[in-house]
Amino acid sequence: MNAFLAIIGRDLRLATRAGGDALTLVLFFVMVGAVVPFAIGPDRVLLAQLAPGIIWIAAFLSMLLGLDRLFRADEDDGSLLLLRHAAIPLEAVVAAKLIAHWLLSALPLLVASPLLAVLLSMEAGAWGKTVLALLIGTPALTAFGVIGAAVTVSLKRGGLLAPVLILPLSIPVLIFGVAMVSAPEGSSAASLFLAAVSLVCVAFCPFAAALALRVGSE
């Protein structure tokens, strides 16, 4: 357990020190959301109607953008090799990195989402539902991202490949996430499905990603 927490702490420290890019991702998230009104016009009613979808798309893109930093730096400086021979199994290492990545790439987006809600003239109720949906759904996006990053880490020129691989796979998350926001009061089907997808992905991802890491460095 100590080693598990140490890996989470290490990733968090690395990302928040100088040269880390935790805030750049938030900036990207807000900018994607803020660019949309320029494309579809500043109609407040239309914007409020589209806002949950826009926030989901912005979160989706930001999380794809941050994938490369999951394993790339560790692969380049050799610490991934050391982690493979750590006292805890590689699956646990991957799970720790999954948690750290969620804390670094999904939680800041949730914190920044009120800003987008104001820009897109969302009501407080819709914003609350969107944040709840993001809270439930982003672990699944992170899990798919971890698999994509683990699969492409041994490729020198695989930067664009991971997003292309996992984007079609994570469409259910988007469907249930947006449906949860637009669902009428009292119907919980979408949120339950979203939670189920998230739980399955998070439980399954460390094994698939660890297998890919082992195979990739053979």
Partner 1 sequence: MTLDSTAPKPNWFSRLAHPGSFMTWSRPILWPLGIVTALTFAAGFWYALFNSPADYQMGETVRIMYIHVPNAWLSQFVYGVMAVASLGTLVWRHPLADVAAKSAAPLGATFTALALFSGSLWGRPTWGTFWEWDGRMTSTLILLFIYLGIIALWRAFDDQLRAARIVAIVTLVGALDIPIIKFSVDWWNTLHQPASVITPTGPKMPGTILTPLFIMMLAFTLLFLLLHLISMRTEILRRRADSLSRQAAQRSAP
State the residues that interact with partner 1 by CB under 8 A. 147, 151-152, 154-155, 157-158, 161, 164-165, 167-169, 171-172, 175-176, 179, 193, 197, 204, 208, 211-212, 215-216, 218
Q: Please, what is the minimum distance in Å from the beta carbon of residue 89 to partner 1?
A: 17
Cβ proximity to partner 1: between 63 and 197 the closer is 197
Cβ proximity to partner 1: between 118 and 164 the closer is 164
Q: Please, what is the minimum distance in Å from the beta carbon of residue 45 to partner 1?
A: 23
Q: CA triplet 209, 163, 85: central angle to 5 degrees?
A: 25
User: Exposure of 40 by Cβ count < 10 A (0-12 exposed, 13-18 middle, 19+ buried)?
Assistant: exposed
Q: Following DSSP, what letter does each residue of 104-171 receive, concatenated?
A: HHTHHHHHHHHHHHHHTT--HHHHHHHHHHHHHHHHHHHHHHHHHHHHHTT-TT-TTHHHHHHHHHTH
Q: Please, what is the minimum distance in Å from the beta carbon of residue 218 to partner 1?
A: 7
Cβ proximity to partner 1: between 25 and 140 the closer is 140
Cβ proximity to partner 1: between 63 and 112 the closer is 63
The 10 Å Cβ neighbour count of residue 129 is 18
The 8-class DSSP code of residue 218 comes to -
Q: Please, what is the minimum distance in Å from the beta carbon of residue 196 to partner 1?
A: 9
